[in-house]
Amino acid sequence: MYRHALWSLALLAILVPGVAAADERPNILWLTCEDNNINWVGCYGNPHADTPNIDALAAEGFQYMHCYSNAPVCAPQRSTWITGVHALSMGTHPMRSRYPIPHQTIKYYPDLMKAAGYFVGNDKKTDYNIGGRDDQDAWDTNKTDWRQLKQKQPFFMVINNTKSHESKAFGDVNHTTHRPDDVRLAKYHPDIPDIRKNYAHYHDQMKKMDADIGKALADLEKAGLAENTIVIHNSDHGGVIARSKRFLFNSGTHCPLIIRIPEKFKHLRPGDPGTKVNDLVSFIDMPKTWLDLCGAEQPDYLQGRVFLGENKQPRDYHVSYRGRMDERCDNVRAIRDGRFLYIRNYMPYAPWGQHLNYLWQMRATQAWEAYHKAGKTDAVTGRFFGTKPMEELYDTSVDPDNVNNLIDDPQFTSDVQRLSQALDQWQLEQFDSGLLPESEIVRRSEDAGTTIYEMVRDPSLYDLATLQRVSARALQQDPNNLSAIYDDLSADDPGVRYWAIVGCFLLQDRTDLDLERLAAAMQDSSDHVRAMAAWIQYRGGNKTAAQECWNQLLRDSSYASLKVFNIIDWIGDGIEPYTDAMKACQFSHGGYVARMQEYMNVKPVAEKPKRKQAPKK
């Protein structure tokens, strides 16, 4: 029996390169939690944060000071994690969209771990935002059973904690254990009682989450598994008070990451226990790193780098991205190095603080909006409710709250150019699938009979380099580009025409436009071109034609319906001319059109079921 076990281990090492005997490979316990950035964790410097178990883990392990999520919300980030491929590269970056990917090509990282001889478990959150495969399919178990784990070594076990989720910041913010006076407000939040109370309320929730982390660590120790197990703790993205989760600022992406490595595997350590590690770590790096630590296969399609252990690969830049968040349209990219954060807004006309039905359940959000509407905010605390610049630059070493935009400061011109060029290169190398509106991309991939992942890698279907060039020209807002933009309105590719009409829209306040010429775009084959062309006419004084165009799109349940709802709300002139068309709109967009109908109080009246007639005698 003993010789048979040795033979099995030897065979496994031959079949799976890099795999050592089971007792030489680490178990991994990945303790994830939700929706908090570093400012909610004591060991990252907030004296008011009450997280003793996480702080103790940092003292025993390694605290990463520059770790960032790729998406500022759960579903696209977890899509990125499970595949090791950027959600933006697969088209799975819009919130709760579940578009398919080529599963025959892209395995989930637990598939690769199982092939390497690992027992894999996930307790219990999945939310991978991917169609075509059940989220639980890749895992051996969805519950934590320490006796089973002891028998199933080596194991990779995820335990996700929901007690710090955004929803836990909702509800009554009075009677908190944490004192509202003992909070450290972000500079962008006004110092008003309900915001302080909401901070205190969430500190209470963080303490509850921290207690669960402590319990998991105690259970690991009690099971006699600690000396064989690498422990990892991090949040799934930043958060949680408004202007954090969903946004690409530090507040939405700068996450705690703590790793404890037992003495048995000290060769993997980045330093002595208690070390603060200043390496730049991107969440895309995690799947590849876990696979490397486990001696599992690392397919070529993986887009991350190994950040820990003997095969560590340094990183110069980290990229984050935002698409649609629930019912609200937006499109943003961000790139950072160890000091600067550069943000590019592809929809600068969309305000940061769009009303989001879910976010507005939070008392702090309601109080902030009311304070702003009362005219009490200043240039820093009121900026959230305005439209965006095309570019932003922040020196995060002195401005961690990202309130001082340095984009026009000449001393940083070279840094802007460097970061912008690096982002351009990243988009080409990683196949940015978001350079057109979401439903335009979906329509194009469905017409081609392929997944978005495959489509964006075929220049005949999605000419990324051209879309990058015409979008850059549109965003420059340079009147000297108008002639070229007009030429692009006649392009065969509706994506080029879309960016041409956006370019005209962004130039409308800077130069005279030929409104008569642009009126023809309201009949374009692309509904997104039509929607933006109508907005140009609306701002140019031809409101009747614009309203007729939008109403027609809504009545026809256009695939651009969600964008039309958003545009009408952004304009802020009321919905009376569109009420009937809004009620008639049947395009779902994953149920998010219905959320806009609810917000605008135009929810269609459900048809009453017909009464059954009694049978004739």
Domain definitions of the chain by residue range: 2-340, 514-606
Alpha-carbon distance of 538 to 545, in angstroms, equals 8
pLDDT value of residue 24: 87
pLDDT value of residue 604: 82
User: Average of pLDDT values for 83-102?
Assistant: 98
In this predicted model, what pLDDT tens digit does every residue of 329-355 receive, in sequence order?
A: 999 999 999 999 999 999 999 999 999
User: Average of pLDDT values for 232-256?
Assistant: 98
The one-letter code for the residue type at 29 is L
Task: Decide if pLDDT at 544 tops 50.
Answer: yes
Longest CA–CA span in the chain (Å) reads 91
Q: Are 535 and 519 in contact (CB under 8 A)?
A: no
Q: How confident is the model at residue 605 (pLDDT cuts 50, 70, 90)?
A: low
Cα 178 off chain centre by: 29
Task: Decide if pLDDT at 14 tops 70.
Answer: no
Task: Decide if pLDDT at 607 tops 90.
Answer: no
pLDDT value of residue 278: 98
User: Average of pLDDT values for 18-45?
Assistant: 87
Q: In what order do the strands lie in the sheet with 155-161?
A: 119-123, 155-161, 27-33, 229-235, 257-260, 62-68, 276-282
Cβ neighbours of residue 612 under 8 Å, at least 6 residues apart?
none
pLDDT value of residue 12: 47
Q: Are 338 and 357 in contact (CB under 8 A)?
A: no
Q: How confident is the model at residue 572 (pLDDT cuts 50, 70, 90)?
A: very high
DSSP label at residue 296: -
Q: Are 12 and 117 in contact (CB under 8 A)?
A: yes
pLDDT value of residue 38: 98
Task: Decide if pLDDT at 608 tops 70.
Answer: no
Which one of 3.40.720.10, 3.30.1490.20, 3.40.50.1370, 3.40.50.1970 gives the CATH number of domain 2-340?
3.40.720.10
DSSP per-residue codes, 59-123? HHSEEEEEEE-SSSSHHHHHHHHHHSS-HHHHT--STT--EE--TTT---HHHHHHHTT-EEEEE
Task: Decide if pLDDT at 483 tops 80.
Answer: yes
Backbone conformation region of residue 42, classed left if phi is above 0, alpha if psi is from -120 to 50, else beta: alpha
pLDDT value of residue 616: 40
pLDDT value of residue 612: 47
Spatial CA neighbour of 302 closest among 81, 556, 35, 575: 81
The pair phi, psi for residue 201, each rounded to 5°, is -60, -40
pLDDT value of residue 4: 37
Task: Decide if pLDDT at 609 tops 80.
Answer: no
User: Average of pLDDT values for 500-512?
Assistant: 97
Q: Rounded to whole angstroms, what are the CA distances from 409 to 346, 381, 414, 415?
A: 21, 22, 10, 11
pLDDT value of residue 606: 62
Q: Are strands 318-322 and 332-336 parallel, antiparallel or unpaired?
A: antiparallel
Looking at the chain, the whole-number percentage of residues with pLDDT higher than 70 is 94
Q: Are 454 and 91 in contact (CB under 8 A)?
A: no
Alpha-carbon distance of 246 to 75, in angstroms, equals 11
Q: Are 454 and 345 in contact (CB under 8 A)?
A: no
Q: Where are the alpha helices (DSSP H) in 412-463?
A: 413-430, 438-448, 452-455
Question: Residue 42: helix, strand or coil by DSSP?
Answer: helix
3-state class percentages of the chain: helix first, strand second, coil last, to nearest 5: 45, 10, 45
Q: Are strands 332-336 and 340-345 parallel, antiparallel or unpaired?
A: antiparallel
Q: Give 8 or 49, the one with higher predicted confidence.
A: 49
Q: How confident is the model at residue 187 (pLDDT cuts 50, 70, 90)?
A: very high
What's this model's pTM, rounded to 2 decimal places? 0.94
pLDDT value of residue 23: 57
In this predicted model, what pLDDT tens digit does every residue of 353-365 receive, in sequence order?
A: 999 999 999 999 9
Cα 592 off chain centre by: 17
Q: Are 293 and 232 in contact (CB under 8 A)?
A: no
Task: Decide if pLDDT at 242 tops 50.
Answer: yes
Alpha-carbon distance of 278 to 15, in angstroms, equals 37
The pair phi, psi for residue 511, each rounded to 5°, is -155, 165
Spatial CA neighbour of 167 closest among 239, 234, 216: 239
Q: How many CA atoms lie less than 13 Å away from 368 in the CB half-sphere?
A: 31
Q: Which residues pair with 121 in a beta bridge?
A: 141, 157
Whose tokens are 């120790």? That residue is 221
Alpha-carbon distance of 161 to 364, in angstroms, equals 23
Task: Decide if pLDDT at 274 tops 50.
Answer: yes
Q: Which residues pair with 100 in a beta bridge?
A: 131
In 147-254, beta strands by DSSP E = 155-161, 229-235
Give the other-Cβ count within 10 Å of 557's Cβ: 14
Alpha-carbon distance of 386 to 372, in angstroms, equals 11
Question: Average pLDDT over the chain, rounded to whole?
Answer: 95
Q: How many CA atoms lie less than 13 Å away from 292 in the CB half-sphere?
A: 18
User: Average of pLDDT values for 312-320?
Assistant: 98
Q: Give the number of residues written for the chain.
A: 617
Cα 174 off chain centre by: 31
Task: Decide if pLDDT at 611 tops 80.
Answer: no
Whose tokens are 């490397």? That residue is 292
Task: Decide if pLDDT at 617 tops 80.
Answer: no
pLDDT value of residue 8: 40
Q: How confident is the model at residue 204 (pLDDT cuts 50, 70, 90)?
A: very high
User: Average of pLDDT values for 471-476?
Assistant: 98
In this predicted model, what pLDDT tens digit does every residue of 52-80 receive, in sequence order?
A: 999 999 999 999 999 999 999 999 999 99
pLDDT value of residue 603: 83
Residue 207: asked if its preceding bond is cis (omega within 30°), the reply is no
